[in-house]
Amino acid sequence: MAAHPAASEQNDETVESTASDGTHSGSTARSGDAPPPESRMPVWLPRAMVMALALLGLFELANWAAHELIGIAIMMTVAFFISLAMEPAVDGMAARGVNRGLATAIVFIIVFACTIGFLVTLGILMVETVGNVLDELPRLLEELVSWVNHTFHQNFTVDQLRDRLFKDSDVISSYAERAANNVWGLSNTVLGGFARIVTIALFSVYMTADGPKLRRSLCSLLPPAKQGAVLHAWDLAIDKTGGYLYSRALLAVISALTHGAFLWILGIPNAFALGIWFGVIASFVPTIGTYIAGILPILVALTIKPIDAVWIVIFVVVYQWLQDYVLQPRITARTVDVNPAVALLSVIVGGALLGAVGALLAIPATATLQAFLSEYVKRYEVNEDPRIERAGGKARKKR
């Protein structure tokens, strides 16, 4: 019996030691399995990475779709502006009892015929002008070489210039080879441009013929309180865009008749065809259109009678002043008279953004934007100040 307490104490020590060892080993096992808290990956990080990859994929998809659809968006914009320009004429005919579809067809046939007529006239002028220049080129070269020799005391001849120009035949042959290789690309460009023109024409016809239905569909998506504002903005865009284009068309007719008559008096061939060229370019290209249009008749005059080119330059400058300060303010008084500097800037910006299409749409878009600003931007009365009204203010005070 005496050994029992000792054994019990020994067993207790063993159990205690075992428990101590077990606790220690268990502690050691747990510390080996679980990393320290600071080295764990945050729970939200995998989800954030998946979301970031998904957003990146959506961005790339949207970027790809935008690049693929930008051409369609441009065509729809062009068709919309054409519809805005044609709708006043269609509305006027529809108000007189003409079926809206028939009125749309009549207006677009007239516009199409005028466009084709202008393009045919331009093509004939270009072919004849280039032919005349090529026919007169030897004589012009002789006169130019004689002037250079007389002015700068040289002894050049036309044969020397021709030999230097065609000395390296490889340059000409390589240019011809590149031109032949680009024929297929040029044909694809022409066919693609024709397809875009047809698409724009079809959509503009549909938008014009179904203009009231299109506005009704748009208003059905808006609350009644906003429908009136949208319709007013739409009507404002129609009035200003159509009025601006019609005023430019009237200026084009006046310019064509004036320049055609002047060129006919000078005896320039194809005078009225050149007048049509003058009218379109001078009226629809702001500020510098008249000077650009003058290049072609000046070239024609140089091949016939060089002194006539001087008279054409003088007439072009005088007519540009007359159009800017007399005709244009009177004709555009009831529409939107865009400042010439603003118009030129808008054409440059539109051309930089969308190329030739942007340059063509720049002025109607600027006219519409100016109309919106005049309707919705609050303006204040300007106090009389000599820094604002110089000579005009003094003239009014004297009266």
Each residue's pLDDT tens digit, 146-168: 877 778 877 777 676 666 655 55
Q: Are 274 and 285 in contact (CB under 8 A)?
A: no
Look at residue 21 in the predicted model and tell me its pLDDT. 47
Look at residue 2 in the predicted model and tell me its pLDDT. 46
In which element (H, E) is residue 190 found? helix 183-209
Residues 84-88: contacts with CB within 8 Å, 24+ apart?
A: 84/237, 84/238, 84/241, 84/242, 84/364, 84/368, 85/241, 85/242, 85/245, 85/364, 86/111, 86/204, 86/208, 86/242, 87/208, 87/211, 87/238, 87/242, 88/238, 88/239, 88/242, 88/243, 88/246
Q: Are 218 and 90 in contact (CB under 8 A)?
A: no
Q: Is residue 182 part of a domain?
A: no
Look at residue 130 in the predicted model and tell me its pLDDT. 72
Q: Is residue 313 part of a domain?
A: yes
Closest CA to 104 of 176, 1, 203, 196: 203
- The gap between the terminal CA atoms of the chain, to the nearest Å, is 143
How far apart are the C-alpha atoms of 172 and 181, rounded to whole Å? 14
Strands (E) in 181-300, as ranges, are none
And the tokens for 210? 């179904």
**pTM, to two decimals:** 0.63
How far apart are the C-alpha atoms of 239 and 249, rounded to whole Å? 15
Q: How many domains does the chain have?
A: 1
Q: Which residue has the tokens 């080879």?
A: 177
Angle between the N-to-C axes of helices 224-266 and 44-95, in degrees from 0 to 180, rounded to the nearest 10: 60
Q: Is residue 131 part of a domain?
A: yes
Q: Is residue 221 part of a domain?
A: yes
Look at residue 323 in the predicted model and tell me its pLDDT. 81
Domain that holds residue 119: 81-160+194-376
Look at residue 135 in the predicted model and tell me its pLDDT. 75
What's the distance, CA 79 to chain centroid?
13
Q: Is residue 114 part of a domain?
A: yes
Closest CA to 268 of 295, 304, 306: 304
Q: Is residue 205 part of a domain?
A: yes
How far apart are the C-alpha atoms of 67 and 77, rounded to whole Å? 16
Q: Is residue 187 part of a domain?
A: no
Q: Which residues of the chain have pLDDT under 50?
A: 1-4, 6-11, 13-31, 169, 391-399
Look at residue 161 in the predicted model and tell me its pLDDT. 65
Q: Is residue 72 part of a domain?
A: no
Q: b/e map of 246-280 (b: 16 or more CB within 10 Å)?
A: bbbbebbebbbebbbebbeebebebbbbbbbbbbb
Look at residue 199 in the predicted model and tell me its pLDDT. 86
Which residues are CB-contacts of 104 (< 8 A; sequence separation ≥ 6)? 86, 90, 205, 208, 209
Look at residue 56 in the predicted model and tell me its pLDDT. 93
How far apart are the C-alpha atoms of 264 and 312, rounded to whole Å? 12
The one-letter amino acid at 204: S
